[in-house]
């Protein structure tokens, strides 16, 4: 009887040892480097500088139109989504003296491109609500005659 208990204990120790070895191998495999870094997005104010994941603000047209994006619900290797607030300067009587109107908004990024080894999102959709849903699609690009890239686009069809 004592021998059966000793064999059972030895088998249990061996099973635990094999299990721990499998866990160690599994952890070593999961510690392997990721295949590619996540893409960044540009904030629209700094050109090719300051690309980052989950930017807190995205500018469209310098400082007169921007989206604050404090709630990123997703950021992957192929797309990103956030909810936030769109700020639009009324520019009345002038842009310097204007006031900002705010709108509930959603931002999404897609279409990854590469520049100087940096992966970045080259397309953005801005959806906001003002008397109904409005959708704008932008592309990150340098317009003809310009030297600094920005988010360029408008209402989608």
The residue among 152, 156, 151 whose CA lies nearest residue 57 is 151
- Report the pLDDT value the prediction gives residue 157, as an integer from 0 to 100: 53
Calculate mean pLDDT across residues 26-53.
77
Half-sphere exposure of 89 (CA within 13 A, CB side): 16
CA angle 99, 100, 105 (to 5 degrees): 170
- Report the pLDDT value the prediction gives residue 94, as an integer from 0 to 100: 94
Calculate mean pLDDT across residues 97-101.
95
Q: Is the dihedral of CA 12, 15, 17, 23 positive or negative?
A: negative
- Report the pLDDT value the prediction gives residue 99, as an integer from 0 to 100: 95
Would you list the domain boundaries of the chain? Answer: 1-32, 57-155
- Report the pLDDT value the prediction gives residue 34, as an integer from 0 to 100: 56
């Amino acid at each position: 009887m004592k021998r059966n208990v000793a064999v059972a204990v030895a088998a249990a120790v061996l099973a635990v040892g094999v299990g721990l070895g499998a866990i160690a191998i599994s952890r070593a495999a999961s510690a392997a480097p990721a295949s590619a870094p996540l893409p960044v997005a540009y904030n629209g104010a700094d050109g090719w500088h300051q690309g980052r994941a989950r930017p807190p603000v995205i500018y469209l047209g310098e400082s007169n139109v921007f989206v604050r994006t404090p709630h990123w619900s997703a950021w992957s290797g192929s797309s990103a989504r956030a909810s936030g607030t769109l700020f639009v300067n009324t520019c009345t009587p002038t842009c310097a003296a204007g006031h900002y109107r705010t709108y509930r908004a959603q931002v999404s990024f897609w279409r990854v491109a590469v520049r100087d080894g940096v992966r970045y999102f080259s397309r953005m959709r801005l959806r906001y609500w003002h008397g109904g849903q409005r959708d704008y699609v932008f592309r990150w690009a340098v317009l003809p005659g310009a030297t600094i890239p920005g988010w360029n686009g408008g209402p989608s069809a």
